Amino acid sequence: MATLTVKVTEELELNGRERGSEVSIDVTSITETFHRILDVGTASAQTVVQMDASAANAAGGTLLTTNVSYFRITNLDATNFVAITIQNDGTEEYMIKLDAGESYLLFNSKIDANAAGNSSAAAGNLTDIDNILAQADSASCQLEVFAALT
């Protein structure tokens, strides 16, 4: 087993004073990684990664949801953005815009997308991510996907 150390560093000098910070987290007991660089087109959203709660189904690129301890997706393009859609079993999803050079991090595989837009839903409504999709905006882009699993 291994330990993955993730560091987020912000460097900012504003009005002659350092305002940035660094946050570091150790993700322990890592036994597997998933790493891929792929081309994403503009025609339609394509599957970047699939996840499944059943160990029997988690093979050949499908990640076992209960074992996902860290997930990063990075837009390697220098100009164009990519729309990332994160879904659970097709009934809930949310989308983020990943501009050129940006990354999106997750430290687990749970989501809840609330169409009503209120915060009254209990945290118990969190469900497993099943699919992560991507679609480039105006030109094909490359994405880097990295996951660490326990």
Answer yes or no: is 132 within a domain.
yes
Residue percentage of the chain with pLDDT more than 90: 80
Answer yes or no: is 24 within a domain.
no
**Tally of structural domains, the chain:** 1
For residues 53-80, average pLDDT: 92
Find the domain containing 105 and state its range: 31-149
pLDDT 10s digits, 39-61: 999 999 999 999 998 988 877 77
From the number of C-beta atoms within 10 Å of its C-beta (0-12, 13-18, 19+), residue 56 rates as exposed
**How do beta strands 82-88 and 21-30 pair?**
unpaired
Answer yes or no: is 142 within a domain.
yes
Q: What is the DSSP string of the chain?
A: -EEEEEEEEE--EETTEE--EEEEEEEEEE-EEEEEEEEE-SSS-EEEEEEES-GGG--TTEEEGGGEEEEEEEE--SS--EEEEEEETTTEEEEEEE-TT-EEEESSSEE---TT--S-S-GGG-EE--EEEEEESSS-EEEEEEEEE-
For residues 106-118, average pLDDT: 80
pLDDT 10s digits, 119-137: 655 556 789 999 999 999 9
- CATH code for position 94: 2.60.120.10
